[in-house]
A and B are shown apart, each in its own frame.
Chain A
């Protein structure tokens, strides 16, 4: 593999978006993902190679390290951000080369509930995994979820809830999706501290995840 792709992967691993990144003292001033990706584009490298053997190869390592408890969420997010910087530069070329666009996820915290730290984390991790995330925010009504599914046509709908008093809202949304006959178009994932796999199955959700990292895996499985 070319040194340039290796360097891109390494900078994703280190979370160095560009040469100003303060993250690795020994690498201060050295080109980051931005500069390296620009160079790869200029050298006319294959877009798929830059993505798969550079950016995603790096992110792969990050994911494995995280699962091995070697690194922490902020490090994953900052790597994901670096990866995003590279992807942004490649976007025009992706459209040109006709590569598959990424899948969409609509996510939100259900009606009556204002907790969003967990939901935001799930959004960030999904974005890091190159999903296009439309985050509706908190206290979202069933109608808003339905409208958004119709408008955005996401593959996945994510519902977050931390209050037992609002948990029934998740079932209301799922029932509405069925009523509108959208259940073949979109798969529904639920999560939040009080939610369990058992509860998720009972209300007819397609998936559940206890944390943001597992959420990414489950979303990938559901899309397959």
Chain B
């Protein structure tokens, strides 16, 4: 593993950002729109103004909470072979983006409203691609609006075996979803031990936690289901235009959420994660693949690792727009920065157009980019074997290293990245092999996976139970 991570910020910078975050929490506070949550925080030592719903967190409360938290995050798959563990010092994991509403048709390339059959297709690809470790939601349009989240969860539970990071529309919906998780896992204890779904709630920047999201946070915490807090301050509109100020505020929003979660349910796993976007100042849109995003990815990773000791998540695979060559550059740039920054979870594989759309072709290409990033994050190992003095001596002047056992052994260990989608052949060979573009090669690989990859079905009784829960949800919520 790579040792000296990219250090964008100095130790002093990190400390200043942390202190600024504490100061925001202590002096400005957060709007916590939840009576019970405010009560709990007040009891834990926070200064609460119930009328204005403002909670001010004393630094000691935040620091004390951080001290007692577990530093490892488990993204459990259906079976342990699909587990992804986030831990500092270990290689990073990757998940797809959540929340997109459009899908790029694999065959026609059309950009259209996502359907549940798209999610099935996407799930199969996720299950097959080795560098993708967890999957996010796709909001489909051809199912009942009020229970689309529940339908999507059913699809992801059935059609693929990796960890699912999923948001519920309301705490009511979350109740059904937890029933579904229990149907797959069997018991509450087993679910807690191996949470196959992580939930997601949102903080609305600046500094506002809505009631239903807090309900969801507390409910998930009761079951020990890890909860990602989506904190997306848009630089220049929902947070200061300065990146330092955005880091301080986003970090404050996260620390506040973490504190609430721990006060409500001690031990509730919350990943170190916030994902500032950048305001497009001609339209107000949120951008995620700008150079500022890349720096934020690295800075957040550094804060997580160096300052708090948490394995940091980040949006290293985000991109804006739907032009392939552009998204590729943005993903590569953000990804490298997050990966060198020591990020533990790279988020947004498969996403394009500022996470408005999911593209199966992009997912296949991202799998390849992630492969390259894994090679980079393994770094350059220096020891007797890798210095290879004996081999250099054996080969001698004018010799060749090609036919050395040392070469073969290291080749097999993956010392040299070997592309599947990128074509590094010289032009002539590329032409004789069909002169295929990157997108075409990725499409062919996706088609091949869809044709040949099989996902074991869940046991019949579980499938039946899932269907019954979804039906019950439709009967009551639609």
A119–B408 Cα distance when bound, in Å, is: 21
Q: Is the CB of B408 within 8 A of A124?
A: no
Question: B408 contacts A74, CB within 8 Å?
Answer: yes
Query: B403 near A: Cβ within 8 Å?
Result: yes
When chains A and B are docked, how far (Å) is the Cα of A78 from the Cα of B401?
Answer: 11
Given contacts A196-B428, A210-B428, A210-B429, contact A15 B400 (CB under 8 A): no
Contacts A22-B409, A211-B429 given; indicate if A78 touches B403 (C-beta within 8 A): yes
Residue pair B402, A73 in contact (C-beta under 8 Å)? yes
Given contacts A23-B408, A124-B402, 6 further A-B contacts (CB under 8 A): A15-B408, A72-B418, A73-B402, A120-B400, A121-B400, A196-B428
Which residues of chain B are near A81, meaning CB under 8 Å? Answer: 403
Contact B408 A78 (CB under 8 A): yes
B429 and A74: CB pair below 8 A? no
Q: How big is chain A's contact interface, by range?
A: 20 to 34
Residues from chain A with a CB closer than 8 A to the CB of B403 are 74, 77-78, 80-81, 124
Nearest-neighbor residue (CB-CB) of B398 within chain A: A116
Q: How far is the CA of A77 from the CA of B405 in the complex (A)?
A: 10
CA distance in complex: A73, B426 (Å): 16
Interface residue B435 (Cβ < 8 Å from any Cβ of A): no
Interchain nearest-CB distance for A120 vs B (Å): 6
CA distance A73 to B402 in the complex (A): 7
B395 adjacent to chain A (CB < 8 Å):
no
Q: Which residue of B lies closest to A123 (CB)?
A: B400
Contact B409 A23 (CB under 8 A): yes
Shortest beta-carbon distance, A223 to chain B, in Å?
Answer: 23
Q: A22-B405, A196-B428 are in contact. Are A124 and B400 (CB under 8 A)?
A: yes
In the complex, chain B residues whose CB is within 8 Å of the CB of A75 = 408, 411
* Chain B neighbourhood of A77, CB < 8 A: 402-403
Question: In the complex the two chains form, what is the Cα distance from A11 to B418 in whole Å?
Answer: 25
Tell me whether A21 is interfacial, beta carbon within 8 Å: yes
C-alpha gap A81/B403 in the complex (Å)? 8
Chain A, 170-193, CB within 8 A of any chain B CB: 193
- B interface, CB within 8 angstroms of A: 400, 402-405, 407-409, 411, 418, 426, 428-429, 432
Q: How far is the CA of A124 from the CA of B405 in the complex (A)?
A: 15
Give min CB distance, A26 to chain B, whole Å.
13
Whether B411 and A72, one on each chain, are in contact in the complex, defined by CB atoms closer than 8 angstroms, is yes
Q: What's the nearest-Cβ distance from chain B to residue A177, in Å?
A: 26
> Could you tell me the distance in whole angstroms from the C-beta of A154 to the nearest C-beta in chain B?
22
- B404: contacting residue among A74, A124, A193, CB under 8 A: A74
CB distance from A110 to the nearest CB of B (A): 18
B411 near A23 with CB under 8 A, answer no
How many whole Å from B29's CB to the nearest CB in chain A?
60
Determine the distance from Cα of A210 to Cα of B432 in the docked complex, in whole angstroms.
Answer: 11
Q: Once bound together, how far apart are the Cα atoms of A53 and B408, in whole Å? A: 25
- Shortest distance between the CB of B117 and any CB in chain A (Å): 32
A22 to B392, CA, bound (A): 17
Top 3 A-B pairs, shortest CB-CB distance: A77-B403, A74-B407, A74-B408
A contact residues vs B (CB 8 Å cutoff): 15, 21-23, 72-75, 77-78, 80-81, 117, 120-121, 124, 193, 196, 210-211
A117 surroundings in chain B (CB, below 8 A): 400
A22 CA / B390 CA spacing, docked (Å): 15
The interface residues of chain B lying within 8 Å CB-to-CB of A193 are 426
Name the A residues within 8 Å of B409 (CB-CB). Answer: 22-23
* A74 and B405 alpha carbons, distance in the complex (Å): 8
Tell me the smallest distance from the CB of B429 to a CB of chain A, in Å: 6
CA distance A73 to B407 in the complex (A): 10
Contact assessment for B402 and A74 in the assembled complex, using a CB-CB cutoff below 8 Å:
yes
| Residue contact A121 to B405, C-beta cutoff 8 Å | no
The smallest C-beta distance from A76 to any residue of chain B, in angstroms, reads 9
Known interface pairs A196-B428, A210-B428, A210-B429; A21-B402 also in contact (CB < 8 Å): no
**Closest A residue to B407 using CB positions:** A74
Chain A: which residue is nearest B410 at the CB level? A74
Distance between Cα atoms of A163 and B328 in the complex (Å): 35
Cβ–Cβ < 8 Å partners of B408 in chain A = 15, 23, 74-75, 78
18 contacts between A and B (CB under 8 A): A15-B405, A15-B408, A21-B405, A73-B402, A74-B403, A74-B404, A75-B411, A77-B402, A77-B403, A78-B403, A78-B404, A78-B405, A81-B403, A117-B400, A121-B400, A121-B402, A124-B402, A210-B432
- Bound-state Cα–Cα, A117 to B429, Å: 19
Question: Which has the most chain A C-beta neighbours within 10 Å: B403, B405, B432?
Answer: B403
Report the minimum CB–CB distance from A181 to chain B (whole Å).
34
A60–B408 Cα gap in the complex (Å)? 19
Of A15, A77, A81, most B-chain CB atoms within 10 Å: A77
Query: How far is B402's CA from A117's CA once the two chains are assembled, in angstroms?
Result: 10
CB closest residue in chain B, given A16: B405
Rounded to whole angstroms, the CA-CA distance of A211 and B429 in the bound complex is 9
Say how far B371's CB is from chain A's closest CB, in angstroms. 16
User: Are the C-beta atoms of B428 and A74 separated by less than 8 Å?
Assistant: no
Within the assembled complex, what's the spacing in Å between the Cα atoms of A77 and B407?
11
A78 contact set on B, CB distance < 8 A: 403-405, 408
A185 to chain B, nearest CB (A): 31
Which chain A residues lie closer than 8 Å to B426 at the CB level?
A: 193, 210
A23 touches B405 (CB 8 A): yes
Q: Provide the residues of chain B in CB contact with A124, threshold 8 Å.
A: 400, 402-403
Compute how far the CA of A120 lies from the CA of B426 in the bound complex, rounded to whole angstroms: 19
Closest A residue to B403 by CB, please name it.
A77
Most buried by B among A72, A121, A193: A72
Q: Which residue of B lies closest to A210 (CB)?
A: B428
Quote the shortest CB–CB distance from B449 to chain A (angstroms).
Answer: 17
